[in-house]
């Protein structure tokens, strides 16, 4: 139940009744007064009670967190979800055992879960919400590994003058490599192929002699 219409002698009494029915607190609801209470003749004849509509205000972040908790429970993985609010996003950091199952090969499962929690959150949000899902700093470690790989392959391309095609990656991981090598004086990067098999190619800059 997300919304109730309640009548009582006063607005405060009506709100109290509504909160009991919704099993929530006043800070988590939106109250709309449909009719103010009035007193009739001698305070008896023509008396009209207050009529209000009370609706639960759903927190999109909490809904996304609950969804993720249900998913990890169904996967039989016991984790704690830490929530950190940043300027550009909300971070869900997973802490616990069995995180490898939630991360998957090169973070594919983590990316899929991130997509789902964002879908759930934005179903209830008034504006756009971006949630980043991480597991004990896997994102930072993977970013560092990709940048190291990009540096090594860029040096190899410059030395051998032969282009190198990397294995298929997600759009997010391709962006990391593109961004890291965009100012490299010796190599270019571009993507080719169709999702989910799209991959990066590192090639020699034509102006290099």
Model confidence pLDDT, tens digit, residues 67-123: 999 999 999 998 999 999 988 899 999 999 889 999 998 888 999 999 999 999 999
Q: How far apart are CA 208 and CA 187, in angstroms?
A: 9
Q: What is the mean pLDDT of residues 167-181?
A: 93
For strands 90-96 and 79-85, give the pairing. Answer: antiparallel
pLDDT at 57: 86
What is the rounded average pLDDT for all residues in the chain?
Answer: 90
pTM, full prediction? 0.72
For strands 131-135 and 90-96, give the pairing. Answer: parallel
Q: What is the mean pLDDT of residues 142-160?
A: 96
Token code pair at residue 26: 């006043």
Q: How far apart are CA 141 and CA 154, in angstroms?
A: 20
Q: What is the mean pLDDT of residues 29-34?
A: 90
Place 46 in a pLDDT band, splitting at 50, 70 and 90.
low
Percentage of the chain modeled with pLDDT above 90: 58
Token code pair at residue 150: 């990009």
- Structural domains of the chain, ranges and CATH numbers in brackets: 3-56 (3.30.30.80), 60-136 (3.30.300.20), 140-204 (3.30.1370.50)
Match 């139940």 to its residue by tokens: 1
pLDDT at 48: 84
CB of 186 closer than 8 Å to CB of 205? yes
């Amino acid at each position: 139940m997300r919304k109730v219409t309640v009548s009582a002698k006063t607005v405060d009494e009506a709100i109290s009744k509504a909160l009991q029915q919704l099993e929530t607190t006043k800070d988590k609801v939106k109250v709309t007064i449909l009719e103010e209470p009035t007193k009739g003749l001698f305070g008896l004849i023509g008396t009209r009670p207050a009529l209000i509509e009370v609706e639960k205000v759903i927190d999109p972040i909490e809904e996304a967190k609950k969804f993720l908790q249900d998913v990890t429970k169904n996967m039989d993985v016991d984790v704690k979800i830490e929530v950190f609010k940043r300027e550009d996003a909300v971070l869900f950091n997973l802490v616990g055992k069995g995180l490898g199952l939630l991360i998957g090969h090169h973070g594919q499962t983590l990316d899929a879960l991130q997509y789902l929690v964002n879908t759930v959150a934005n179903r209830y949000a008034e504006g756009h919400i971006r949630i980043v899902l991480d597991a004990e700093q896997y994102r930072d470690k993977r970013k560092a590994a990709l940048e190291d790989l990009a540096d090594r392959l860029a040096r190899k391309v410059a030395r051998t003058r032969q282009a190198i095609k990397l294995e298929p990656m997600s759009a997010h991981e391709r962006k990391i490599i593109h961004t890291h090598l965009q100012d490299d004086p010796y190599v270019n990067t571009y993507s080719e192929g169709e999702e989910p098999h799209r991959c990066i190619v590192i090639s020699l800059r034509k102006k290099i002699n």
